[in-house]
Amino acid sequence: MGFSQIIASAEKSDRHREYAGQITLECRRMTDLINQLLDLAKIEAGKMDIEKRAFSVASLVEDLPSSFKDNAAEKNLSLTINVNDNVPDVLVGDSMRLRQILMNLIGNSLKFTNEGSICLTINAAESSPEEATITFKVIDTGIGIPTDKLETIFDSFAQADGSTSRRFGGTGLGTAISKQLVELMGGEIGAESELGQGSTFWFTLTLEKGKIEKETKLPQVKTEQEIRMDGSRILVVEDYPTNQAIVRHYLESAGCDATVAENGEQGVEEYRNGHFDLVLMDVQMPKMDGHEATKAIRRLADGKDVPIVGMTANAYKRDRQRCSESGMNDCLSKPFERSQFLKTVKSWLDRDRKTEESHERLSELDEVDTSGSDVSGAPIDVDAFIERVGGNDSVAWKIINGFVAQLPIQLTNIENGIKDKDITIVDREAHSIKGGALNVCARDLMEESKKLETLTKANTLEGASRHLENIKHEYSKLKAYLEKGESDEKPGY
Read out DSSP for 83-126? E-TTS-SEEEE-HHHHHHHHHHHHHHHHHT--SSEEEEEEEEEE
Rounded CA-CA distance 186/184 in Å is 5
Rounded CA-CA distance 400/191 in Å is 51
Q: Specify burial of residue 352 (Cβ count, 10 A radius: 0-12, 13-18, 19+).
A: exposed
Q: Give the chain's mean pLDDT.
A: 80
Question: Is residue 228 pLDDT above 90, yes or no?
Answer: no
Rounded CA-CA distance 466/432 in Å is 19
- The pLDDT, as a whole number, for residue 297 is 94
Partners of 199 in the β-ladder: 193
pLDDT in tens, 233-272: 999 999 888 888 889 988 988 899 999 999 999 999 999 9
Neighbours of 482 (CB within 10 A): 22
Q: What is the distance of C-alpha 426 from the center of its chain?
A: 27
Instruction: For domain 224-350, give the fold.
Output: Rossmann fold (3.40.50)
Q: Which of 188, 183, 189 is nearest to 201 (CA)?
A: 189
Q: What percent of the chain has pLDDT over 90?
A: 28
Tell me the pLDDT band of 405, cut-offs 50, 70 and 90: confident
Neighbours of 179 (CB within 10 A): 23
pLDDT in tens, 301-344: 888 889 999 998 765 667 778 888 899 998 888 777 777 788 88
SS3 content of the chain, % helix, strand, coil (to 5): 50, 15, 35
Q: Specify burial of residue 472 (Cβ count, 10 A radius: 0-12, 13-18, 19+).
A: middle
pLDDT in tens, 64-103: 777 787 778 888 888 888 889 899 989 999 888 898 899 8
Phi and psi for 12 in degrees, rounded to 5?
-85, -25
Average pLDDT (446-458) is 89
Question: Is residue 212 pLDDT above 60, yes or no?
Answer: no
Question: Is residue 370 pLDDT above 60, yes or no?
Answer: no
Average pLDDT (401-409) is 88
Q: Where are the domains of the chain?
A: 1-45, 49-209, 224-350, 382-483
| Furthest CA-CA distance within the chain | 72
Q: Which of 403, 270, 382 is nearest to 281 (CA)?
A: 270
Greatest mean pLDDT range, 6-10, 140-144, 150-154: 140-144
**Distant-in-sequence, close-in-space partners of 484: CB < 8 Å, separation ≥ 6:** 492
At 412, which amino acid appears?
T
- The pLDDT, as a whole number, for residue 295 is 94
Rounded CA-CA distance 36/34 in Å is 5
Task: Please give the class, per CATH, of domain 382-483.
Answer: mainly alpha
- The pLDDT, as a whole number, for residue 356 is 38
- The pLDDT, as a whole number, for residue 296 is 94
Tell me the pLDDT band of 353, cut-offs 50, 70 and 90: very low
Rounded CA-CA distance 241/236 in Å is 12
Instruction: For domain 49-209, give the fold.
Output: Heat Shock Protein 90 (3.30.565)
Tell me the pLDDT band of 484, cut-offs 50, 70 and 90: confident
Rounded CA-CA distance 174/166 in Å is 17
Is there a contact between 159 and 175 (Cβ–Cβ < 8 Å)? no
Q: What percent of the chain has pLDDT over 70?
A: 77
Q: Which of 99-113, 182-196, 391-405 has the lowest mean pLDDT?
A: 391-405
- The pLDDT, as a whole number, for residue 492 is 41
Rounded CA-CA distance 447/471 in Å is 9
Task: Say which residue, 59 or 219, is predicted with more confidence.
Answer: 59
Q: What is the distance of C-alpha 216 from the center of its chain?
A: 21
DSSP letter for each residue of 406-436: HHHHHHHHHHHHHHTT-HHHHHHHHHHHHHH
Question: Is residue 186 pLDDT above 90, yes or no?
Answer: yes
Q: Which of 277, 365, 353 is nearest to 318 (CA)?
A: 365
Rounded to 5°, the CA angle 450-456-458 comes to 105
- The pLDDT, as a whole number, for residue 21 is 66
DSSP-derived 3-state class of residue 140: strand
